[in-house]
């Protein structure tokens, strides 16, 4: 087997490594990151408002 598959570049174009800085995300995606960090911290009580 040769070409790009053997070189380890099998990622799709435009797909990041999952570690984008929060400032590069917009709106709902920023909110998802912040919420997931709060949940991961394991709070005893998490109050969310709409």
Q: Output the tens digit of pLDDT for each of the chain's 50 residues.
A: 555 555 555 544 455 566 677 788 888 888 888 888 989 999 999 888 87
Residue 42 is predicted with a pLDDT of: 92
Structure tokens at 50: 């709409």
The Cα–Cα gap between 9 and 15 comes to 12
What is this structure's pTM? Answer: 0.49
Residue 21 is predicted with a pLDDT of: 79
Residues written for the chain: 50
Residue 29 is predicted with a pLDDT of: 87
């Amino acid at each position: 087997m040769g070409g790009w598959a053997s070189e380890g570049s099998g990622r799709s174009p435009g797909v990041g490594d999952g570690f984008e800085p929060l400032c590069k995300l917009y709106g709902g995606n920023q909110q998802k990151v912040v919420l997931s960090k709060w949940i991961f911290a394991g709070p005893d009580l998490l109050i969310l408002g709409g």
